[in-house]
Chain A
Amino acid sequence: MAECIECDAAISFPADAVEGEIVTCPECGAGFELVGGKDGMGLKPAQTVGEDWGE
């Protein structure tokens, strides 16, 4: 669980969360990447979809 950096809403992490996973704020829709830290998982703003992103 963490607070949204944009709107302060609570964002819960999946039970099987992994570093690098993208989560979305349920209130404002902002995207974040899960990052590991000494106090457990945290959030950093996800990279904006790049011009070369795809499959």
Chain B
Amino acid sequence: MSAGVAVLHDAVRWEEKALLEAGKRSGIPVRMVDCRELAIAPGTEPPVSGTILQRCVSYYRSIHSTAALEGAGARVINTLEAALLAGNKLFTHVLLRRAGVRTPRAAVAFSAEAAVRAIEGIGYPAVLKPTVGSWGRMVSRVNDRDAAEGVIEGRESMHPSYHAHYVEEFVRRPPRDIRAIVVGDEVVAAIYRASENWKTNTALGGRAEPCEVTGELEDVCIRARDAVRGQIVGVDLMEDEERGLVVHEVNGTTEYKNTVRVCGVDIPTKMLRYAAGLG
């Protein structure tokens, strides 16, 4: 008998509701737990029993609640280690390179002057990203030195977390990228995210279309998942004109609404079955 799965959330989006519905279909008991109502003391009995699927939309709430729950002995998917590694673009980049997974060239610098040097080492156009962030927020393409200096000056006046200036090469690719969903050892589905905007995030209007999960895509995604020690992740890839598939991001609390919609794969049930140890 499965102990069931707790869905830890701070807002019930389509994805969290789909997990609840999948529980009813599959017979796996699902409990919705609002993270905002928890008080967690590491070292004492965890306030949530069974396996916990971490689904908080707030990154900081997510990693801190995972840390505290693990400290209380709970099993959380993804683990704190994976959440921290996947949640930081520089950490992910380093680990992908170490694992031999192709990823865009990147550099980091810690002052305005060094950041311009880092960008010019990568070459224009380049992409400036916060090391922690999502949905394309504050991701800036800089085409020349004037633009670079302007963007960096703005970030220097923000919270210190924005002062790690992370820069990536602008990858030459078709006007789309790929989001692949990995559950355990299986790449369960993938979509193209096509957009006239150079940022292809569906949160910014990118159109989702089905993408075939080829052997190559599967291999790259599993190695990317392993690189960040993930269990359930969304891997973002681009099709570089010369190098082929390159991974630019691994998402630890991946959204999958559009993947389910266009691929017809029951991703929430696969996630629940994995969490419950059933497959």
Contacts and interface: CB of A to CB of B under 8 A. Distances in A.
Is A bound to B? yes
Contacts of A34: 12
Contacts of B132: 52
A2 interface: no
A46 B57 CA distance: 13
Contact of A20 (B32, B60, B134): B32
A6 interface: no
B85 interface: no
A50 B135 CA distance: 12
A21 interface: yes
A55 B254 contact: yes
25 contacts: A16-B17, A18-B12, A18-B17, A18-B32, A19-B12, A20-B16, A20-B34, A21-B17, A22-B11, A22-B12, A22-B13, A34-B12, A46-B11, A50-B57, A50-B58, A52-B59, A52-B133, A53-B57, A53-B58, A54-B59, A54-B135, A54-B137, A55-B251, A55-B254, A55-B255
Question: Main secondary structure on chain A at its contact with chain B?
Answer: loop
In order of increasing CB-CB distance, the 9 nearest A-B pairs are A54-B134, A20-B12, A52-B59, A21-B12, A55-B251, A55-B255, A53-B57, A52-B60, A54-B135
B59 A53 contact: yes
A18 B66 CA distance: 23
Find the residue from A22, A50, A51 having the highest chain B CB count within 10 A: A51
Interface in B17-69: 17, 20-21, 32, 34, 57-61
Contacts of B21: 16
A54 B32 contact: no
A52 B118 CA distance: 25
Interface in A4-47: 16, 18-22, 33-34, 46-47
Nearest to A50: B58
A51 B149 CA distance: 23
B11 A47 contact: yes
Contacts of A46: 11
A52 B131 CA distance: 11
